[in-house]
Every structure is written in C-alpha cells, then in structure tokens.
Amino acid sequence: MTPKKPLILVTNDDGITAPGIRALINVMNEIGEVYVVAPDSPQSGMGHAITVNNTLYCDPIVIDKNAPQKEFSCSGTPADCVKMASRQILDRMPDLCVSGINHGSNSAINVIYSGTMSAAVEAGIEGIPAIGFSLLDYSMNANFEPSKKYVKTIVENVLQNGLPKGVVLNVNIPSLEAEKIKGIKICRQANAHWVEEFDKRINPMGRKYYWLSGKFINEDKGEDTDEWALQNGYVSIVPTQFDLTAHHYIQELNNWTLHD
C-alpha cells in the first residue's frame, strides 16, 4: 500500500503570483499533496492583521494548468488565508503549512511585522506545524534556485520530527549562489531594530504626505544570531513562539505593591 502523501498548505504575503511562492509550490509538489491559499495582491508588512470589517473572497484559480496543486486566491491577509484554508477549503487539517518564499528578509525584529511569518504563526496557533521562508532579495527577479535544496531539507525534517506545540520556524536564506551558501545554522533572533524616518512631501493639492524609510541597526555582536549567520553565508533557522509573555519578569511584578 502506497503511503499517503502529507497534506501541505502553501501561502505567502507577496501575492499568489509572486515568483517566491511559485518556487515554494514547485518544491512542495515533490513532497506532498499541495493546496495553495494566498493573497490576491501583495500584503507585505501586514503582520498578524485579519479582516473583520470587510467581506472576504476566496476563489479557485488556475495559474499553472500543468501542475497538480489546487489553488485559491484570497482577498484577505496572510493570516486570513490560513484561517480560510483550515476552516473552509480543506477537509482535514494540513500536516504542514509553509509560507513564502518571501522576497526580502524576515530576520531579527522584522519577524514582528512580517505577513509571511504571521501566516506561519496563525498555522501554529491552530496546531499545524509551520515554517516561514524568506530570501534576502527584494527583487521580483530574485533567483530562488539555490533556496530550493534548503527548503526541501528543512520541510522533510519537520515532517519527520514534528515541532513542539506553540513553535514555528523562521527560516532566512542569504541571496548567494548555491556554492557560496555554507550550510544551515540554528540561531536566536538578533537584538536589532529599525530607526524609522518619514520623508515628508507635498502633493499637487498642497496636502502633506509621508514615505516611511529608515536604517536597520544591529547592535547584537553575538555569533549565534540570525543576522550573524546570514552575513556569514549561512541559512538561519530561528525557532519562534507566539507566547509573548515575559516569563522572567512575572516574579518581579509579583513583588510590586499592587494589592490592597
């Protein structure tokens, strides 16, 4: 009897036609039965937003008629896509959710803003093992070929070993030729942040408007971080949790005078 293929949900935040998700779909078709539920337009930087004050549309779509996956284009956010897939489209919970491959970094503090990772986190909340993949190249012409081998290796390991409840993987891949990528490092999230600036301009009607810009500052000198790994030619994997409790500070708060 042929073993049943794992059911894999693929999503992203760059939109269902983005080259990164098409590369990810290709790899997943080698591993399992693939369903794609992804935004109908770019949703970068949406974080964990969900649609509550608007209608949602989720329609079947055929992008590659020669490929076996089933695809749905959703009007909502990446988190909406995962909810729609698990509650409306699939007849059982997927064995794995993969999100990406994102066009651009989701290392360090970027994980907070990332629609790519929020889709993975939403899957994790629903008890689905999940991975977010990102390539450090924002171009729509980015070369995803060197990423595919690492994507496949990591996915196969997750399917074999599972993930603990409440943990999803944040995977970032350097934009290098295959022979220049040194391997995979298990990392912690670097203590780095953005210093934002707003470029103020005036439109033809005389109204002020702003473009967000800024600098990425990495003050973390550790050699066990995702930023160090990426800068030194490694794929980084950060196990990420969605429990935001500062557990180490609970006892200190209990020492405050908060009760009558």
pLDDT, one tens digit for every residue, the chain (260 residues): 556 899 999 999 999 999 999 999 999 999 999 999 999 998 888 889 999 999 999 999 999 989 999 999 999 999 999 999 999 999 999 999 999 999 999 999 999 999 999 999 999 999 999 999 999 999 989 999 999 999 999 999 999 999 999 999 999 999 999 999 999 999 999 998 888 889 999 999 999 999 888 888 898 899 999 999 999 999 999 999 999 999 999 999 999 998 76
Mapping DSSP to helix (H, G, I), strand (E, B) and coil, where does residue 146 land? Answer: helix
Provide the pLDDT for residue 194.
85
- Write the single-letter amino acid at 125: I
Hey, where are the domains in the chain? 7-189+222-254
Interaxial angle between packed helices 145-161 and 19-29, expressed in degrees from 0 to 180 and rounded to the nearest 10: 50
Provide the pLDDT for residue 44.
84
* DSSP-derived pairing of the beta strands 33-39 and 7-11: parallel
Mapping DSSP to helix (H, G, I), strand (E, B) and coil, where does residue 149 land? Answer: helix
Where does the chain have alpha helices with state H?
Answer: 19-29, 78-84, 110-113, 115-125, 145-161, 226-231, 250-254
According to CATH, what is the number of the domain 7-189+222-254?
3.40.1210.10
The answer to whether 232 and 182 are in contact (CB under 8 A) is yes
The answer to whether 63 and 72 are in contact (CB under 8 A) is no
CA distance 96 to 132: 11
The answer to whether 103 and 141 are in contact (CB under 8 A) is no
Sign of the Cα torsion 16, 19, 22, 28 reads: negative
Return contacts of 159-166, CB within 8 angstroms, 24+ apart.
159/6, 159/31, 159/32, 159/95, 159/96, 159/129, 162/129, 163/124, 163/129, 163/130, 165/127, 166/124, 166/241, 166/242, 166/243
Burial of 223 (C-beta count, 10 Å sphere; 0-12/13-18/19+): exposed
pLDDT tens digits, one per residue of 141-159? 999 999 999 999 999 999 9
Provide the pLDDT for residue 2.
57
DSSP 173-205: E-S--GGG--EEEE-BPP-EEEEEEEEEEE-TT
